[in-house]
């Protein structure tokens, strides 16, 4: 279904417009909501946020279908489908992502069309306006990253007599994204005034602007002037003094399971809630049905364990050469948290050691810590992070390295993340004598590779690896290189299905066939 069709559904189903009113309207017009009070505007804004939790976005498609297969993770479903880079223009996940993002954009346009009402409280409507602007920009950011040039719809009253809207150049889409987000930055609240990371704060806007600028600096735009701008935005978050690393890496994810906010670390997260059994629509399939420590015990929390770590990721963490264990222990506490060394066997589940480094499941989100009961078998209400403070620090390190080389600023930013990883920020570090810092004297290229590796260790399973390789312009070459390594190091063909299928066309997703049938001005991406 197209984004144009979703406009009709939104108007009929969500806004409650009667059939009689709708059919009596001129066919070139749309019936927009009045949004004449702050409460009504807030309701409209909730609809804009709602897109983030859709199964078509962060509820399933973004973290699993599009991003599960890289050099750090894979899925054991064995299916030749989207997870294995076998994209087609009729693919349900790719079509649903497109239409759902446009649904969010249209909802934002509805709010923005009514928010500048001088009869309403200025401060309240400015906060709403800022959030709607930012979310519209973010949805376009997801579109342009995944599909390349896309149609830009910036009105609440599209003309249904003119549905043939051409794709805007990538540069123009990014110009609009920057415009929306920069205007939003001055309107939204500071993080310290918000109760949790589900709402947009000024830090959110600044941090995502840094991410947008880093993306613009890389493939395909390669506007290297944006590195300096990315550094500026990321350092604004740092200089606000409102954010810091949670001293305990595992506690970041335990708090997601317990539905506890930690806005110092988790700057922006997708909020999931409720249960499948209660009729809620805001749960995630990524944790539970897809990912988690394999378990058949629903009291602990069921997981099919379909998201697995690669041995390459396991080997990327430093080992303690003096360890007598097999495999050797790691001073990096993230390894055995992110990559579960056990599964739950039987009911009741018993922790059972898993020695196969190619068959260890994602342990980052652990259902045993969930407090919402009874636990659903296939879905979870755990929140999903879009922006954590550690990402801000690693963006500072990357941008500073590109602008000025591996300076003290760059070293300090990445070393903060590493010190937390080695437990050195804990009140009682497990090994206070361990050195977590990068060695001094690295070249610019060596420091960049350290960032590439650190992002894998820190953000594995958080849906950033594919995007990182795409913006670095190394996606296809790296996946082929990884395939050769994997097959030479114990992997079987089923572990590298995605890397076997990958080609240059996979830098972009195909434009959905359903959209091209309705919008004759659309053109298809190369290779589809």
Please give the pLDDT value at position 277.
Answer: 75
Q: Residue 5 belongs to what H/E stretch? A: helix 3-9
> b/e for 57-87, b at 16 or more Cβ within 10 A?
bbbbbbbbbbbbbbbbbbbbbeeebbbbbeb
> Is position 482 within any domain?
yes
Please give the pLDDT value at position 171.
Answer: 98
* Three-class SS of 145-203: HHHCCECCCCCCCCCCCCCCCCCECHHHHHHHHHHHHHHHHCCCCCHHHCCCCCCCCHH
> Is position 469 within any domain?
yes
Give the total number of structural domains in the chain. 1
Please give the pLDDT value at position 23.
Answer: 30
Residue 99 in contact with residue 6, Cβ under 8 Å? yes
Residue 491 region by backbone torsions, left for phi larger than 0, else alpha for psi between -120 and 50, else beta: beta
Please give the pLDDT value at position 31.
Answer: 63
> Is position 193 within any domain?
no
Please give the pLDDT value at position 30.
Answer: 54
CA 476, CA 499: separation in Å to the nearest integer?
8
Please give the pLDDT value at position 438.
Answer: 98
Please give the pLDDT value at position 162.
Answer: 83
Please give the pLDDT value at position 108.
Answer: 98
Token pair of 110 as six digits: 């509805």
* CATH number of the domain bearing residue 457: 1.25.40.900
Domain enclosing residue 498, as ranges: 387-503
Residue 325 in contact with residue 272, Cβ under 8 Å? no
Dihedrals φ, ψ of 416, to 5°? Answer: -60, -45
CA 88, CA 91: separation in Å to the nearest integer?
5
**HSE toward the beta carbon, residue 419, CA cutoff 13 A:** 18
> Is position 128 within any domain?
no
* pLDDT per 10-residue tile (average), the chain, 528 residues: 36 35 37 88 97 96 97 86 93 97 98 97 97 98 98 87 92 98 98 93 98 98 98 98 98 96 97 80 86 95 95 98 95 98 97 97 96 89 97 98 98 98 97 96 98 98 98 98 98 94 97 96 97
Peptide bond into 301 cis (omega under 30): no
Q: Considering Cα of 14, then 17, then 23, then 28, what sign does the dihedral take?
A: negative
Please give the pLDDT value at position 469.
Answer: 98
Q: Is 352 helix (H, G, I), strand (E, B) or coil?
A: strand
> Is position 395 within any domain?
yes
Please give the pLDDT value at position 137.
Answer: 98
> Is position 149 within any domain?
no
| Closest to 357 in 3D by CA, of 388, 403, 317 | 317
> Is position 133 within any domain?
no
Token pair of 495 as six digits: 């572990």
Please give the pLDDT value at position 281.
Answer: 66
| Closest to 143 in 3D by CA, of 106, 110, 114 | 106
Please give the pLDDT value at position 19.
Answer: 33
Instruction: Output the pTM of the full model.
Output: 0.93
Please give the pLDDT value at position 273.
Answer: 87
> Is position 323 within any domain?
no
Who contacts 23 (Cβ-Cβ below 8 Å, separation ≥6)? Answer: none
């Amino acid at each position: 279904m197209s984004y144009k069709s979703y406009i009709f559904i939104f108007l009929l189903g969500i806004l409650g417009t009667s059939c009689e009113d709708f059919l009596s309207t001129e066919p070139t017009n749309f019936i927009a909501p009045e949004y004449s009070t702050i409460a009504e505007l807030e309701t409209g804004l909730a609809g804009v946020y709602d897109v983030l939790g859709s199964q078509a976005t962060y509820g399933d498609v973004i973290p699993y279908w599009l991003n599960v297969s890289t050099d750090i993770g894979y899925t054991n479903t064995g299916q030749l489908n989207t997870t294995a880079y076998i994209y087609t223009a009729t693919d349900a996940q790719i079509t649903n992502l497109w239409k759902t993002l446009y649904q969010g954009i249209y909802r934002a346009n509805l709010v923005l069309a009514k928010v500048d009402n001088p009869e309403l409280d200025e401060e309240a409507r400015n906060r709403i306006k800022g959030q709607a602007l930012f979310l519209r920009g973010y949805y376009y950011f997801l579109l342009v990253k995944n599909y390349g040039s896309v149609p830009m719809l910036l009105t609440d009253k599209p003309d249904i007599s003119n549905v043939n809207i051409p794709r805007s150049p990538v540069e123009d889409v990014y110009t609009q994204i920057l415009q929306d987000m920069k205007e939003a930055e001055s309107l939204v609240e500071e993080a310290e005034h918000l109760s949790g990371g589900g709402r947009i704060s000024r830090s959110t806007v600044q941090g995502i602007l840094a991410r947008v600028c880093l993306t613009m600096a890389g493939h395909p735009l390669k506007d290297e002037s944006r590195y300096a701008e990315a550094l500026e935005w990321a350092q604004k978050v740092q200089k606000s003094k409102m954010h810091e690393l949670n001293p305990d890496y595992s506690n970041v994810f335990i708090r997601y399971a317990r539905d506890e906010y930690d806005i110092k670390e988790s700057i922006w997260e997708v909020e999931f809630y409720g249960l499948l059994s209660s009729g809620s629509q805001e749960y995630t399939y990524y944790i539970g049905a897809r990912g988690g420590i394999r378990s058949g015990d629903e009291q602990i929390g069921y997981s099919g364990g379909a998201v697995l770590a690669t041995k390459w990721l396991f080997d990327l963490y430093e080992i303690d050469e003096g360890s007598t264990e097999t495999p050797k222990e790691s001073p990096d506490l993230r390894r055995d948290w992110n990559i579960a060394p056990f599964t739950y066997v039987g009911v009741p589940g018993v922790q059972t050691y898993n020695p196969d480094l190619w068959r260890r499941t994602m342990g980052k989100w652990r259902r045993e810590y969930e407090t919402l009961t009874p636990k659903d078998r296939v879905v979870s209400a755990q929140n999903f992070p879009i922006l954590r403070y550690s990402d801000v620090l690693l963006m500072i390190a990357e941008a500073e390295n590109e602008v000025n080389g591996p300076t003290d600023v760059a070293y300090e930013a990445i070393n903060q993340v590493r010190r937390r990883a080695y437990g050195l920020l804990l009140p009682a570090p497990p090994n206070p004598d361990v050195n977590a810092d990068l060695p001094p004297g690295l070249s610019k290229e060596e420091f960049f590779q350290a960032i590439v590796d650190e992002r894998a260790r820190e953000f594995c399973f958080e849906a950033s690896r594919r995007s990182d390789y795409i913006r670095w312009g190394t996606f296809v070459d790296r996946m082929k290189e990884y395939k050769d390594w994997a097959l030479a190091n114990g992997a079987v063909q089923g572990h590298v299905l995605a890397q076997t299928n990958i080609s240059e066309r996979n830098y972009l997703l195909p434009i959905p066939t359903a959209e091209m049938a309705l919008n004759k001005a659309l053109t298809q991406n190369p290779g589809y």
